[in-house]
Amino acid sequence: MDPDKVFKFLVDNLADWSRVTVLTLVRPAMRFRTVPVESGNSRSIIGEYNSEKEFWLNPQLLAFALLSIVLGLAINALIPDRKPGPDLLASVIIILTYWFVYGSVLHGICLLLRGKGRYLETLSVTLQVLSTMYVVTSFLSLSTATLLTLPQLDRWVRAVPVIGKLSLEEPILVFFVIGTALLMIYVPLAMRSVHKFGWIRTVVLMLIPPLTVWVPIAIYQKTGLLPSISNSLGDFA
């Protein structure tokens, strides 16, 4: 295999990834278009005698999500005192599965709010936003956790009730705090575009990230990443 071609492939994909990331941060409504399924064999699996075109997620979106997960995991691994998690393949599967479930549940909530978007549109935008936020949150978490290790800040951070002590003992918690804050902004804005929501229903969607953050925390606990949270909280009981 030609090393120059491999290098060019990586550079081209990273360039596309960074462009999509910036566009998503600037305009959450920007999204990958769903693509028509034109294969006759695929059509027989999706549904017989359907005269309308069937659509599915854009393969470029899936590639973007996978690359974001790998980059996010690489950055997270650098967070000080972070405990080891599952191997790369297991981590990718867990995260991607959670994102699909998150997007599906989010679509159900949007329908309850009388949203007008289609399921694949909701899922596509959700995957794009979560992928972008995962890498951005990982970078901000690494930066914050690194700053928290400075002796000059230790005393000030510990003075903050509960959160301060937990942030020093379990730096990965910073990831969930920052990620929740970002999703409270970007998820509602993205769904506002997909489902044609007004500002009232958009604001209601801001409640979803803080209400669902316990699910990924539970997943991390089950994989052994945060085994001492309960012990840390017990100090304040």
Helices (H), 27-87: 40-46, 59-76
Token pair 């958009």 is found at 202
Query: What gap in Å lies between CA 135 and CA 9, rounded to an integer?
Result: 21
- Backbone Cα Rg of the chain: 20
Counting every residue written for the chain, the total comes to 237
Band of residue 157 on the pLDDT scale cut at 50, 70, 90: low
Contact 148, 141 (CB under 8 A): no
State the average pLDDT over residues 200-229. 79
Query: What gap in Å lies between CA 57 and CA 50, rounded to an integer?
Result: 19
Mean pLDDT (the chain, rounded)? 77
Q: Which pLDDT does position 6 carry in this prediction? A: 42
Taking alpha carbons only, the member of 173, 166, 180, 103 closest to residue 134 is 180
Write out the two tokens for 197.
């929501």
Query: Which of the residue ranges 1-10, 89-98, 213-222 has the most confident prediction, judged by mean pLDDT?
Result: 89-98
Q: Which pLDDT does position 214 carry in this prediction? A: 86
Q: Which pLDDT does position 51 carry in this prediction? A: 42
With a cut of 80, say whether residue 121 has pLDDT above it. Answer: yes
Q: Which pLDDT does position 190 carry in this prediction? A: 93
Query: Which of the residue ranges 71-75, 132-136, 212-216 has the most confident prediction, judged by mean pLDDT?
Result: 132-136
Upper half-sphere CA count for residue 60 (Cβ side, 13 Å): 12
Query: Which of the residue ranges 40-49, 91-100, 167-176, 219-228 has the most confident prediction, judged by mean pLDDT?
Result: 91-100
Would you list the DSSP string of 115-160? ----HHHHHHHHHHHHHHHHHHHHHHHHHHHHHHTSHHHHHHHHTS
Band of residue 46 on the pLDDT scale cut at 50, 70, 90: very low
Query: What gap in Å lies between CA 209 and CA 206, rounded to an integer?
Result: 7
Under 8 Å CB-to-CB from 98, ≥6 apart: which residues? 215, 216, 219
Token pair 């700053």 is found at 147
| DSSP E strand boundaries for 5-108 | 35-37, 54-56
Query: What gap in Å lies between CA 40 and CA 131, rounded to an integer?
Result: 32
Band of residue 153 on the pLDDT scale cut at 50, 70, 90: low
Residue percentage of the chain with pLDDT more than 90: 34
Q: Which pLDDT does position 148 carry in this prediction? A: 73
With a cut of 80, say whether residue 152 has pLDDT above it. Answer: no
Inter-axis angle of helices 88-112 and 173-195, to 10 degrees? 40
Q: Which pLDDT does position 181 carry in this prediction? A: 94
DSSP 3-state of 55 = strand
Band of residue 147 on the pLDDT scale cut at 50, 70, 90: confident
Q: Which pLDDT does position 50 carry in this prediction? A: 44
Amino acid at 92: V
Band of residue 230 on the pLDDT scale cut at 50, 70, 90: very low
Band of residue 218 on the pLDDT scale cut at 50, 70, 90: confident
